[in-house]
Amino acid sequence: MQTFMDNLANGWAAEDQIDDAVEEWHESDSDLELHEYLGMSWDEYKDWFELKKTLKEILRGRSSMD
């Protein structure tokens, strides 16, 4: 499954479209948790939601772990 974070990393989505992805999750019958649906680990989701890290910062954090 192509996730929002995959699309963002590939340049096929913009950060400000995440609200649309969250709405899609609410309207779907997905068994995935929201962070999984978006393509984030639980820690990445917490960093985005609680610490207000940008999605680009989260993607950069992934790159630095390679």
> What pLDDT is stored for residue 66 in this prediction?
61
Q: Could you tell me the two tokens for 21?
A: 């992805």
pLDDT confidence bin for 24, thresholds 50/70/90: very high
For tokens 């974070």, the residue is 5
What is the predicted pLDDT for the residue at 52? 96
- Its pTM stands at 0.91
Give the amino acid at 20.
Answer: D
d(CA 34, CA 10): 20
Secondary structure of residue 28 in the 3-state scheme: coil
